[in-house]
């Protein structure tokens, strides 16, 4: 037969963990037709000599709910060989949503996911009301890669309860209505629902994100929808302290597993340099829940945060900072100048927080005030010592001196601990947060980082195991049945890369390419030679082909 595309002479790593083989891959009508030596003709042939031919990577944790409205290529995730994403995580999103409260949904994304309000205001198309309409609108709009959706609990509660969703638990009648909407979303193809318990996840005007106020009776009803449908998973942003799961958090995991009888993934597992034993102890203690379908997610690359004081997400779990969110710059500066406010924050810092006040790790990355240029690449701790000033005051004063334009950066990574976690079969590799915290961090390159750093450089994983972690494993967890493997009859999503060069740049780049010229960090890829989605070439050596072959993925029963 005549094929649409043949990938010749490549080394096939099929995603199952099986040993690599030298073979051609033939594609027709968006499906894989053969993995063998192929002599028949094709409309197009790609010579993959010296390259790896793998299934397209699947990113299980993104926040592209808004970005897909203005960026059909879903950059920069698609640059890294990713052919499918799952969005709608952490309980926050923009559907369902009534027209009169678009601003509330947008502000939730501003506060939880640190996406600039102006970009959302200019970029979101709002061509839906219900969640099934949201998925249908994405299909109609078109995309470069495949889009999977979780149903985030916050907009569902707000759809039924209005502003009171940010103030109280739902009544029995309201709970039933919310559960019916979630069931409708999952029946229409959502891969489950998501929520968060994290205090830094605040919503409109600094109020608690609506899903955080859901009662156990509510959670039971929402989990029950998945049990009734026999499909779907639950995702929960859970751990307040890195690598630790408290007794309360463990109890919630068990409750979700019991009531849904479905898999549950939680955020997240990491390792602390000073206490590497904590993550090991946590995994050991949670083994019974893991055997029942619990799955922690782990980021396989250094966690590098870039932050400013216009959108201070890193401090959202601290009560004194809540009045600063969604305020104009002049009002924010007024609060920052107040010594009483600074002292309140100083007191709150004495308890464990998302930001631990380690000023020697906070570096001045970029300033706009020419007089401050010599301070770039110095830490706040160093600058405070030079000035003979308190580091907390120095941190705030520097921001004021640069009219709140200053960009700080902070890195955290425990190499040995992360290696243990990515080699642990009980974890799910992911946690890119693609589309979120756009001017703070960019971990969208975690797939190429894993292949470059952990597979090639460190040899912590074999190439076959590394590809499996990025493909079949997330596909199996979320029930994406026709992807994640190279196998005859499955969808032809393919990443073709050079194993000698694959990787992601060590430092993200800031670009002004959001709607309205807003800033975001992007991470370029290295060594991804071709990306194929549903049998069509999407990228050829980093250049977009012009095709938009992506589709909306829909959940099915096991």
- 171-220 pLDDT, tens digit each: 999 999 999 999 999 999 999 999 999 888 888 877 889 999 999 999 99
| Section 395-418 average pLDDT | 90
The number of beta carbons lying within 10 Å of the beta carbon of residue 40 is: 13
**Nearest-angstrom CA–CA distance, 276 and 265:** 22
Q: Which phi and psi (to 5°) does residue 132 adopt?
A: -60, -35
What does DSSP say about strands 192-196 and 233-237: parallel, antiparallel, or unpaired? parallel
Residues of the chain with CATH 3.20.20.140: 55-302+413-502+511-544
**413-452 residue pLDDT tens:** 788 999 999 999 999 999 999 999 887 788 999 999 999 9
Under 8 Å between Cβ of 293 and 173: no
For the full predicted model, state whether its pTM sits above 0.85.
yes
The Cα 333–Cα 335 span in angstroms is 5
Closest Cα partner for 89 from 115, 109, 69, 71?
109
Q: Which of 32-36, 413-417, 423-427, 487-491 has the lowest mean pLDDT?
A: 413-417
> Cβ distance 450 to 316 under 8 Å?
no
pLDDT band at 464 (very low <50, low <70, confident <90, very high): very high
Q: What is the pLDDT of residue 543?
A: 98
Least confident of 118-127, 279-288, 433-442: 433-442
**Count of residues making up the chain:** 558
- Spatial contact of 520 and 444, defined as CB atoms under 8 Å apart: no
Measured from the Cβ of residue 474, the count of other Cβ atoms closer than 10 Å reads: 26
How far, in whole angstroms, is CA 430 from its chain's centroid? Answer: 8
Residue 321 and residue 319: Cα distance in Å, rounded? Answer: 5
pLDDT at 493 over 90: yes
pLDDT value of position 314: 78
Give yes or no for residue 242 having a pLDDT over 80.
Answer: no
How many other CB atoms are there within 10 angstroms of residue 49's CB atom?
9
Q: Is the pLDDT of residue 223 over 80?
A: yes
Mean pLDDT over each residue of the chain, to the nearest integer = 94
How many Cα atoms within 13 Å fall on the side-chain side of residue 404? 16
Q: Which of 10, 92, 91 is nearest to 498 (CA)?
A: 10
Say if residues 539 and 79 touch (Cβ distance below 8 Å): yes
pLDDT at 412 over 90: no
Torsions phi, psi for 154 (to 5 deg): -55, -55
* Of 504 and 216, more confident: 216
pLDDT tens for 73-109 read 999 999 999 999 999 999 999 999 999 999 999 999 9
pLDDT-derived band at 354, boundaries 50, 70, 90: low
User: 156 phi and psi, to 5 degrees?
Assistant: -70, -40
What is the sign, positive or negative, of the torsion defined by CA atoms of 465, 470, 473, 476?
negative
What mean pLDDT comes out for the span 305-325? 85
Q: DSSP letter string over 419-486?
A: HHHHH-TTSEE----BTSSTTT---TTHHHHIIIIIIIIS-SS-HHHHHHHHTHHHHHHHT-TT-SS-
Domain 55-302+413-502+511-544: which topology? Answer: TIM Barrel (3.20.20)
Instruction: Note the pLDDT of residue 60.
Output: 98
- End-to-end alpha-carbon separation of the chain, Å? 33
Distance CA 318, CA 322 (A): 7
H or E segment and range at residue 249: helix 247-260
Among the listed ranges 285-294, 314-323, 472-481, which one has the minimum average pLDDT value?
Answer: 314-323
What does the alpha-carbon distance between residue 478 and residue 546 come to, in Å, rounded to a whole number? Answer: 29
Whole-number pLDDT of residue 534: 98
Does residue 3 have a pLDDT over 90?
A: yes
558: pLDDT strictly greater than 80: no
Closest by CA to 25, choosing from 34, 17, 13, 14, is 34
The residues, any chain, with a CB within 8 Å of residue 100's CB and separated by 6 or more, are none
Across residues 379-403, what is the average pLDDT?
96
What DSSP element (H or E) covers 152?
Answer: strand 151-152
CB 414 within 8 A of CB 271: yes
């Amino acid at each position: 037969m005549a094929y649409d595309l043949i990938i010749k002479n490549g080394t096939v790593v099929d995603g199952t963990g099986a040993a690599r083989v030298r073979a051609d891959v033939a594609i027709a009508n968006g499906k894989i037709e053969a993995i063998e030596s192929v002599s028949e003709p094709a409309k197009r042939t790609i010579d993959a000599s010296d390259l790896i031919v793998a299934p397209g990577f699947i990113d299980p944790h993104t926040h592209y709910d808004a970005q897909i409205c203005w960026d059909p290529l879903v950059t920069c995730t698609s640059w890294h060989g990713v052919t499918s994403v799952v969005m709608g995580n952490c309980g926050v999103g923009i559907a369902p949503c009534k027209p009169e409260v678009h601003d509330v949904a947008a502000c939730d994304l501003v506060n939880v996911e640190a996406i600039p309000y102006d970009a959302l205001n200019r970029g979101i198309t709002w061509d839906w009301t219900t969640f099934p309409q949201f998925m249908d609108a994405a299909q109609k709009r078109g995309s470069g890669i495949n889009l999977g959706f979780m149903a985030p609990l916050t907009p569902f509660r707000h759809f039924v309860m209005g502003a009171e969703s940010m103030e109280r638990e739902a009544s029995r009648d309201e709970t039933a209505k919310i559960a019916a909407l979630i069931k409708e979303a999952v029946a229409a193809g959502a891969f489950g629902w998501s929520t968060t318990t994290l205090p830094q996840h605040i919503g409109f005007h600094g109020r608690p994100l609506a899903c955080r106020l859901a009662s156990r009776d509510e959670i039971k009803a929402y989990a029950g929808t998945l049990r009734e449908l026999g499909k779907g998973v639950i995702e929960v942003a859970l751990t307040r302290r890195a690598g630790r799961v408290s007794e309360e958090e463990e109890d919630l995991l068990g409750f979700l597993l019991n009531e849904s009888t479905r898999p549950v993934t939680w955020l997240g597992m990491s390792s602390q340099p000073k206490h590497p034993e904590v993550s090991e102890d946590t995994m050991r203690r949670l083994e019974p829940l893991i055997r029942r379908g619990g799955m922690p997610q782990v980021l396989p690359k250094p966690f590098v945060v870039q932050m400013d004081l216009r959108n201070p997400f890193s401090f959202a779990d601290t009560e004194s900072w809540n009045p600063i969110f969604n305020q104009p710059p002049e009002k924010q500066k007024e609060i920052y100048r107040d010594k009483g406010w600074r002292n309140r924050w100083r007191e709150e810092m004495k308890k464990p927080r998302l930001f631990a006040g380690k000023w020697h790790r906070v570096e001045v990355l970029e300033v706009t005030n020419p007089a401050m240029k010599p301070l770039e690449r110095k830490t706040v701790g160093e600058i405070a010592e030079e000035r003979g000033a308190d580091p907390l005051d120095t941190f705030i004063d520097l921001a004021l001196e640069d009219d709140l334009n200053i960009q700080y950066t902070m890195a955290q990574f425990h190499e040995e601990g992360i290696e243990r976690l990515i080699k642990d079969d009980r974890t799910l590799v992911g946690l890119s947060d693609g589309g979120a915290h756009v001017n703070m961090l960019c971990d969208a390159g975690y797939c190429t980082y894993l292949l470059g750093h952990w597979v090639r450089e460190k040899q912590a994983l074999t190439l076959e195991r590394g590809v499996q972690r990025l493909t079949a494993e997330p596909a199996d967890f979320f029930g994406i049945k026709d992807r994640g493997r190279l196998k005859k009859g499955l969808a032809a999503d393919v990443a073709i890369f050079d194993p000698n060069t694959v990787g992601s740049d060590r430092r993200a780049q800031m670009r002004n390419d959001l709607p309205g010229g807003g800033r975001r960090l992007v991470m370029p890829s290295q060594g991804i030679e071709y990306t194929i989605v549903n049998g069509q070439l999407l990228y050829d050596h980093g250049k977009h082909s012009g095709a938009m072959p992506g589709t909306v993925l829909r959940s099915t029963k096991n």
